[in-house]
Structure formats: structure tokens, C-alpha cells
Amino acid sequence: MKTIQESPLSVQGLTVAYQKKPVLQDVTFEVPEGKLIAIVGPNGAGKSTLIKAALGLIPKVRGDVRIYGKPYVQQRKMIGYVPQRESVDWDFPTSALDVVMMGRYGHLGWFKRPGANEKRIAMESLDKVGMADFAGRQISQLSGGQQQRIFLARALAQDAKLYFMDEPFVGVDAATEKAIITLLNELKKQGKTVLVVHHDLSTVNEYFDWVLLLNVGLIDVGPVDSVFTAANLQITYGGRLAVLDRSQDALVVTTR
């Protein structure tokens, strides 16, 4: 008999409010394993809030979040998180290597200090994002794109099964964007599930398997081919959507 696979992420009736104003309303969905999933919606739609609530970083009003069938607290080690870059204190005096090693702490037992093995894994992760030469550099002395790569290396070092990345493509150059995409596809090949808050609607088709459309409530979720439609985007962005055009098989969208 075939065993039923638990979903990497199952969200039931999730409602989150700041000062009583709901920013996520009754959101329910499940994602399949091994997919690259874009989280798409206008500014203030609750995309970052959805990730933070899933990670237990902010309290919820109602609802339930399960990671492979269990609450987050029991599954910490399975999850990698790349926060929105501007939410990080880059002046904190620490080296690139230290930031990546922090990704390994979940794997160490009590009172164990990171040793040669942890350092080797951290260096390999830095190498994968092309940042090995910057291991000793203070994070405040890195460019935006380099800082983003350091955070990706940290997520890699975590060796998680489920990843959340909050706008990893914002403020990076074309080379870093390519490096991130290569890495996402590598994670996918390893059967990992990656949810990415994504702003550039013109690359959703190319980069992602699934899309989750959000604007306080869940608009739709599923394979890009069936969910990333003009009609759904109109609902998600409302009046802010200026141009919709199907050309060269890609949905071209401009927001204002």
C-alpha cells in the first residue's frame, strides 16, 4: 500500500492581525513536495506575514500551520529561512562565515561548539553561491547582492527540506539572479520545497512550478499554468494592474 505523503506545508484558516486590523484572513492551502512556489501579491498583501506566521515568529489570531504534519516547533531543523534583506541588521559585527555557520546551529547538540565539520559545510555553501573568497569579510562591507548570497549560503548550510525566501531577487544584479535560480533548481532536484516571495511577474512562468496569489485572503494556489492567469491577477492586484497582454506565450504585466 502506498503511504500518503504529508504536505511540507499545510495552512488551515490562518488569520493574522496587527492592532486588530487583519492582514491575513482565513488562509487555507497545502503545497506539494519538491516544487518551486512563488508567493505573489501587491505590497502589503501579507506575503512576509504569511512566512513569519508559518515560522511562529508572530502570533496568529486563528488557524493552524503544519510542517510535514507537525507544528513548527517540532520541525525547526527542516526549515530554512531567507528573510527580506532590509529586515536584517547588517551593521551587526560578524563575518560572512559566521552568518553561514549560524545556519548550522540547529544541527548541533547542547554545549557543542561548531567544529571542523560545521566549518567545512559552511565553506562549501559559500562556495556554491560564489562567495568563498569573502568568508572573512564583515557583512556590513558587502554589496546588497553579496549579502543576499550570504543568506542563501546560510539556508543551504541548514540542509533543510522546506525553504522560505522573502524577495531574494530584490536589489541583486543579473549575475546574482542567475546564481539564485541555479540554486533554486538544485534544491528542487534534491526534492526540496521552496516558497519564494516574488515581485517580478514577468519571470513567474519561467522560474516557478506553482504560484500562490495573495491579497489578505488567498486568491488562488496551484500550478502556474492554471493559476497564473490574467483574470486571477486582476483579482489579486485590482485597480493597480495597468496592462495585461499575452505575447510570446508569456503574460506581460505592468503594475503602477
Ligand X SMILES: Nc1ncnc2c1ncn2[C@@H]1O[C@H](COP(=O)(O)OP(=O)(O)O)[C@@H](O)[C@H]1O
- List contacts with Mg ion (CB under 5 A): 47-48
Cβ at position 108, least distance to ligand X in Å:
31
Nearer to ligand X among residue 48 and residue 125 (C-beta): 48
C-alpha cell at position 189: 532536484
Amino acid at site 252: V
Residues in contact with ligand X by CB under 6 A are: 18, 23, 41, 43-49
Nearer to ligand X among residue 164 and residue 228 (C-beta): 164
Cβ at position 182, least distance to ligand X in Å:
25
The 36-40 sheet, strands edge to edge:
79-82, 162-166, 193-197, 36-40, 210-215, 217-223
Nearer to ligand X among residue 22 and residue 34 (C-beta): 22
Nearer to ligand X among residue 13 and residue 44 (C-beta): 44
Cβ at position 153, least distance to ligand X in Å:
23
**What's 249's DSSP letter?**
T
Rounded to whole angstroms, the Cα distance separating 138 from 99 reads 10
Degrees to nearest 5, angle at CA 198 with 193 and 199: 175
Cβ at position 52, least distance to Mg ion in Å:
9
Report what 18 binds from ligand X, Mg ion, none; CB cut-off 5-8 Å by kind: ligand X
Nearer to ligand X among residue 39 and residue 152 (C-beta): 39
Rounded to whole angstroms, the Cα distance separating 130 from 30 reads 34
Cβ at position 200, least distance to ligand X in Å:
14
**What's 123's DSSP letter?**
H
Nearest to 130 by CA among 141, 118, 142, 140: 142
